[in-house]
Each structure stands twice: as C-alpha cells, then as structure tokens.
Amino acid sequence: MNDVGPGTVAPTTNHQPPTTPPASAGGFIEPFPTLVTPQPGGPHDPLGESILDQAQPWLRLFEPGDVRLVLGRNQDPNRELIVAHAQADGVPIHRRVAGGGAVVLAPGMLVVAVRLQSTGYGTDCYFDLVNSALRPAVAALAGIEPVCRGHGDLTLPGGDGQPRKILGASLRQTSRLAYYLGVLMVADAVPQMERYLRAPSRQPDYRLDRGHRTFCTNLAMHGVSVAALRAVTHDFCSKILSPHAR
C-alpha cells in the first residue's frame, strides 16, 4: 500500500513487519476468533489504525495493497459478510476498533485516517470537519462537489437523480481524541462488494434498500486516479485539518 502523510515515507512493500502492536480494542474479546483475524498493526497497518498511536503521524492516506474485509466493532461476520466467498478466496476478515458497517478494502480505493483533538460530543461534528477537507479535494479533480448524507457519507448524483455513495466513514472517540477512518471509492468496487458483502443490517435512510450497484458509484467515472486524489487530499487535509489535529 502507498502511504502519504505528514512526516511519512511510502513503504517499499505491501506488507511491513509491525513495529508497534495492533491498536487496543479496549478489552474487547473477539467473539468469532476462527473467522476474524487480528490486524497486524504497525505504522503501515492495512486498516489505517496506526493513527491510534500518538507516536505516528496524525494523517495517513493510502491505497490498499490487497483485498481485505473489515467489520464494525460489534458486527457479526455471518450477518454482514458472505463468509464462504471470503474463505474460498483467501480474503482476510478484520475488525476495526470503531463502529460503522462492514466494508471492502481493495486496490483502487483511498483510505483516509485522521487523528483529531476531541472537542465535542457526538460524531457528526467530526465527520463534518473531515468532509470540509474531502469535499473540495474531490471537487478539484472530479469537477463536482460531493454532498454529505447519513453519518459522514459523501455522495454524487447518479443518472437517476438519486445520491450514490463514494465515501463511508467511522469514528472512535475518547475524552481527548477522535479517530476518523474513511474510504473513498476511486475504482469500481461493486464487484467485490457483491461478492463479499451482504445487504447491511443497518442502512442510512437515503439508501432506500438499493443494492450495491445502484447505491454506490466511483470517482474513476469522473477521470480521477488514486494518485492524484491522494496528493490533492493531502494538501486539503493539511491546510484545513492540521489546526484540529493532535
């Protein structure tokens, strides 16, 4: 995976040996240990959770090096995922320390991980803050500014006029810090979603029970590449979010 962030150097291989242990899940005991694999940790961990380590940079932007499935903190893999397909394909299943829904991480996406000062209660204020950097970054390349929907999602209009998702996000908050994890879909990720993700157990109202193909879209349709988006997103995040970072 290719990482870009303040004070970081992109790794030369997809999988780096962990230099720090995986992020603590606050005493959480994995209820599905035969299905869910602990993530390897380290400054180049595949989920972006290195931002939980205050010795690491507050911002990570990277393209996943391979396909992985990630559950929210309290989700059942058998309910959210097509586990048989993941096992047949050798795709690892991880659990993030934050909430949110199950996602596919794959090449052709941009993971955005941010560590912020905790200055308020609730999640929407932090989603809005990060989106204040992501929206103009996307607009600078796609020529259209995405709209916020649900809790932290970003959308673009589809050909049918319905909003289509390009970003989903999750948040973990402590008394001092807020940790944001988001995924921007640059390439078409629907084939992986249809193979590995069931219809989610919890859906935002604007989804309207749509399947993955009619609910999601991608930025490649607007001429955006991961490399260009990573560079522009780094600039906007550094300018807008650095006063709030920790």
CATH of the domain at 76: 3.30.930.10
Q: pTM value?
A: 0.89
Cβ(91)–Cβ(36) below 8 Å: no
Query: Looking at the domain assignment, is residue 141 inside a domain?
Result: yes
Task: Tell me the pLDDT tens digit for each residue of 56-93.
Answer: 999 999 999 999 999 999 999 999 999 999 999 999 99
Residue segments in the chain with a per-residue pLDDT below the cut of 50: 1, 4-25
In degrees and rounded to multiples of 5, residue 172 shows phi and psi of: -120, 135
Q: Which residues contact 70 (CB under 8 A, 6 or more apart)?
A: 47, 93, 94, 95, 96, 102, 103, 104, 105
Query: Looking at the domain assignment, is residue 88 inside a domain?
Result: yes
Query: Looking at the domain assignment, is residue 200 inside a domain?
Result: yes
153-157: strand order across its sheet: 2-4, 59-63, 109-117, 177-185, 163-173, 153-157, 147-149
Query: Looking at the domain assignment, is residue 2 inside a domain?
Result: no
Query: Looking at the domain assignment, is residue 82 inside a domain?
Result: yes
Which helix (DSSP H) or strand (DSSP E) does residue 164 occupy?
strand 163-173
Query: Looking at the domain assignment, is residue 133 inside a domain?
Result: yes
Query: Looking at the domain assignment, is residue 5 inside a domain?
Result: no
Query: Looking at the domain assignment, is residue 13 inside a domain?
Result: no
Whole-number pLDDT of residue 81: 98
Q: Which residue has the tokens 């979603």?
A: 193
Q: Which residues contact 4 (CB under 8 A, 6 or more apart)?
A: 10, 60, 61, 62, 230, 231, 234
Q: Domain range spanning residue 210?
A: 35-244
Task: Count up the domains in the chain and report the number.
Answer: 1
Alpha carbon distance 224, 216 (integer Å): 16
